[in-house]
């Protein structure tokens, strides 16, 4: 998933970003709302993690803005404000979940998965096709009962395909997912990673739809 993290605290932001990337998501980190608006204007995000107290505005106002402009992007509020009225206000504004600081990073991962799953942007916890069993929450993959290790980028691509099994995922979408890993994306980067993934899970499970993208075969 491609996630927009909006957090002004550098220590917290960097830890959340690292942890979320380690979970296999691509993360863009904005330190304030204007930076977030800049990112959101050029990239389509599957989820946003948003603080309320930000240097240039109130996060809940931005939730309302996102609800109108980007209704498909679910928002999880991550805030130090623990009043129930704040939670109600955020949920009424359009946020999908509300996490109070300090929090366990494991809990953050679980909430991201739950929200993404509700919005069809995260695969089911356990997915099996043929001799392949994928535990997406734990990031474990078994082929013929043997565990297969994937890199973070390979997991990112597999998650993209697992979110909509059987549906075509565009090459551009996969590129977007890979962008935030920091490396340069060349014209054949997606093909290289898809090829590596095919070797690990079985070539027949990822089908190329010429001119459109790739899809996970579920038959």
Partner 1 sequence: MTRRLILLLGAATLVGWVSVAAIAAHRLRTVINRDADRLMEITALFSAPGYALLAKRNPEADALLRIPHPRSFEDYWTMRIQVLKADGEVLFYSMEVPPKPFPSAPLDEGFRDTATDRIYTTKILDDVFLQVAQPFSFRDQKVKSATVKVFVPILIFLPINIALSWIVIRRSLRPVEILRREIELRDGGNLSPMGSSGLPAELAPIAASVDRLLERLRTALNAEREFAENSAHELRTPIAASLAQMQRLLAEIPEGQAKTRARGIERSLSNLGHLVEKLRQLAQAESGIGIADHAIDLVQMVRLVIDDLGKKPQFAGPIILDVDDCPTLMRKVDVELFAILLRNLIENALTHGLRDATTTVSVRTDGTIAIANAGPVVPLPELKAITRRFRRGATSAVGSGLGLSIASTVIERIGGSLELASPARGREDGFEAIIRIPRVATTELGVGRIVRF
Q: Which residue among 34, 53, 61, 185 contacts partner 1 (CB under 8 A)? A: 53
Cα 133 to chain center, whole Å?
21
Per CB under 8 A, does 31 bind partner 1? no
**Segment contacting partner 1 (CB under 8 A): 93-101, 117-125, 149-157, 187-195?**
93-101
Minimum CB distance to partner 1 smaller for 104 or for 184: 104
Per CB under 8 A, does 104 bind partner 1? yes
Per CB under 8 A, does 107 bind partner 1? yes
CB of 160 to partner 1, least distance (A): 24
Q: Which residues bind partner 1 (CB under 8 A)?
A: 9, 11-12, 14-16, 18-19, 22, 53, 80-85, 87-88, 97-98, 100-107, 110-111, 114
């Amino acid at each position: 998933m491609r996630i927009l993290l909006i957090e002004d605290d550098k220590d917290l932001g960097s830890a959340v970003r690292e942890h979320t990337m380690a979970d296999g998501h691509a993360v863009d980190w904005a330190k304030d709302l204007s930076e977030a608006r800049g990112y959101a204007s050029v990239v389509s995000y599957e989820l946003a993690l948003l603080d309320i107290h930000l240097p240039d505005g109130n996060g809940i106002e931005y939730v309302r803005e996102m609800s109108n402009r980007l209704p498909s992007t679910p928002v999880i509020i991550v805030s130090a404000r623990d009043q129930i009225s704040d939670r109600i206000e955020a949920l009424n504004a359009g946020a999908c979940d509300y996490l109070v600081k300090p929090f366990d990073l494991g809990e953050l991962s679980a909430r991201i998965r739950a929200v993404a799953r509700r919005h069809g942007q995260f695969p089911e916890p356990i997915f099996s096709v043929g001799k392949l069993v994928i535990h997406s929450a734990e990031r474990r993959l078994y082929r013929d009962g043997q565990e297969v290790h994937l890199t973070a980028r390979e997991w990112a691509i597999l998650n993209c395909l697992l979110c909509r099994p059987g549906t075509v995922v565009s090459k551009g979408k996969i590129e977007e997912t890979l962008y935030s890993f920091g490396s340069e994306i060349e014209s054949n980067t997606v093909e290289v990673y898809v090829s590596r993934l095919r070797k690990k899970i079985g070539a027949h499970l990822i089908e190329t739809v010429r001119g459109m993208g790739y899809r996970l075969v579920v038959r």
